[in-house]
Amino acid sequence: MKTVLLTGATGFVGRRLLYSLLDENIKIRLLVRNKNKLEYSIIERCQIYEGDTFNLTLLEEALKGVDIAVYLIHMMGKGRDYERKEAQSAENFRIACERAWVKQILYLGGLGEIEDASPHLRSRYMTGKILSANPEKVKVAWFRAGVIIGSGSASFEILRNLVEKLPIMITPRWVNTPTCPIFIDDVINYLKSMILSGMLIHEKIDIGMSTMTFKEMMLQTAEVLELKRIIIDVPVLSPRLSSYWLILFTPVNFELAKELVLGLKSKTVKKNNNAEKYFPDVKVTPFKIAIRKSLQEIERAQVISRWCDSSGGSVCDVPKIPEISKAVYVDRYTRKIEPSIANKIFEICKNLGGQRGWYALNFLWGIRGLIDKIVGGYGLNRGRRSSQTLRVGDVIDFWKVIDIVEGSRLLLEAQMKVPGKAWLEFTISEEFFTQTAYFYPRGLWGRIYWYLFYPFHKFIFNMMINRIVKEASNSNI
């Protein structure tokens, strides 16, 4: 039986690839930074190694007996030296594969050539070069994709939000740069086909639809949504101004918007037909069908993964040991409840955020989200992956799910721009429902921030806990 090591299994592409492989006749190993982000059913069916690619000893152990190693690690936005870290990560991975006698590496990179690439695309290109530097020892199937379209992808969220919110768009020149988009399901089909094929390949494999521009993608998205949209090109918007344009109307923050804009300024088109040569059975989904399917997944609450699951560096990581014990300030609210409504309260807590809101003065939450956007944060409009399910690592507006104990505890960590660290915890027993805000200030401004906002928090959190209990009680009648 073939053994596969999958990295990046909690990311946007990796989680979908993992789900597609679970019922195949292969052994799956996962290298993850934090196994708490994996569902129990996954942990039961896969062999888990917890760590990262900077631990060469762990890598070699995880790769022993592996036939094909899948490299889906990307560090966009993870600090100023992310290019150096990406190069070191790739070097470690290739060396460990060579020492473990791995036959094949599978890597998903980006389309485009290094001559006119943005730093983000150049880094992905160099990662591929480093991984494929020693084909005599380990071969690399280097898949290269352009803009990935799918429910939860950053590119799709940008497209959808711009088209839905702006009847008239004043757009920069980069919207006319050619690219080859691809539906996420097609990406998964290519990767899965390679894993199951048994082939040994050392080639670049460019995948995607026919060439189109971002402007054409916006217009076709508008057609699917049955919206009339006017797009006016102007030559004066710099990448920085374009980034502000994106953060105001889409879920991405400034740093990610800037990287995406620089990437879209680069020509990213296919240079070979190796996808058709090696995988003739994989049919590329047309753009409008990809958009339609993505919208249907959102409407049916079937989004498997999102762009923010593992992007953005430490802000999207789940700490192994929550740092609540460091909190200097604690603001706690407790209500005595009937045992019969305890489970209903927990379900309400699990469904907070997104379109449902926060049960107290949602317009103030909206103002706080707008302020967060303006200063470079995520704001509220990331929403939720699903209105029906929740797991560790999920995003809820500007919160991250850190811990869930079914029926008794939900812990959220703030990802908004604050001078310190903040958490919001809900605990439920048969007799009491407790809602607690924790804050660990950074410097003097952190302490000023706490006292400045404390009256608002006290008013909002009191209203919030009362309304949650009231709704649970009413639904119990």
Going residue by residue through the chain (477 aa), what tens digit of pLDDT does each one get? 899 999 999 899 999 999 999 999 999 999 998 888 888 889 999 999 999 999 999 999 999 999 999 999 987 555 567 788 889 999 999 999 999 999 999 999 998 776 566 677 788 889 999 999 999 999 999 999 999 999 989 889 888 888 988 899 888 887 888 999 999 999 999 999 999 998 999 999 999 999 999 999 999 999 999 999 999 888 765 666 667 667 777 777 767 777 777 777 778 899 999 999 999 999 999 999 999 999 999 888 788 888 777 654 444 556 555 567 667 888 999 999 999 999 999 999 999 988 888 988 888 888 888 888 777 777 777 888 887 788 888 889 889 898 899 999 999 998 888 898 899 999 999 899 999 999 999 888 999 999 998 998 899 999 999 999 999 998 755
CA distance 37 to 251: 22
Tokens of 140: 């690399």
For domain 2-309, is the CATH number 3.40.50.720? yes
44-to-40, 150, 221 alpha-carbon distances in Å: 6, 28, 40
CA distance 428 to 449: 29
Q: Residue 77 CB: number of other CB atoms within 10 A?
A: 19
> What's the confidence (pLDDT) of residue 187?
98
Kindly list the domain boundaries of the chain, sorted by start residue. Answer: 2-309, 318-475
> Which residue in 58, 89, 68, 93 sits closest to 17, CA to CA?
68
Convert the chain into a string of H (helix), E (strand) and C (coil): CEEEEEECCCCHHHHHHHHHHCCCCEEEEEEECCHHHCCHHHHHHCEEEECCCCCHHHHHHHHCCCCEEEECCCCCCCCCCHHHHHHHHHHHHHHHHHHCCCCEEEEEEECCCHHHCCHHHHHHHHHHHHHCCCCCCCEEEEEEECCEECCCCHHHHHHHHHHHHCCEEEECHHHHCEECCEEHHHHHHHHHHHHHHCCCCCEEEECCCCCEEHHHHHHHHHHHCCCCCEEEECCCCCHHHHHHHHHHHCCCCHHHHHHHHHHHCCCECCCCCHHHHHCCCCCCCCHHHHHHHHHHHHHCCCCCCCHHHCCCHHHHCCCCCCHHHHCCEEEEEEEECCHHHHHHHHHHHHCCCCCCCCCCCHHHHHHHHHHHHHCCCCCCCCCECCCCCCCCCCEECCEEEEEEECCCEEEEEECCCCCEEEEEEEEECCCEEEEEEEEEECHHHHHHHHHHHHHHHHHHHHHHHHHHHHHHHHHCC
> Which residue in 329, 314, 317, 331 sits closest to 440, CA to CA?
329
> What's the confidence (pLDDT) of residue 237?
59
> What's the confidence (pLDDT) of residue 385?
86
Instruction: Decide: pTM greater than 0.75.
Output: yes
The dihedral sign for the CA sequence 233, 237, 240, 245: negative
- Which residue has tokens 């989004």? 303
Residues in the chain: 477
Quote the CATH superfamily of domain 318-475.
Answer: START domain (3.30.530.20)
Q: What angle do CA 319, 321, 325 make, to 5 degrees?
A: 115
CA distance 309 to 316: 7
> What's the confidence (pLDDT) of residue 354?
86
Looking at the DSSP assignment, which residues form a beta bridge with residue 331?
437
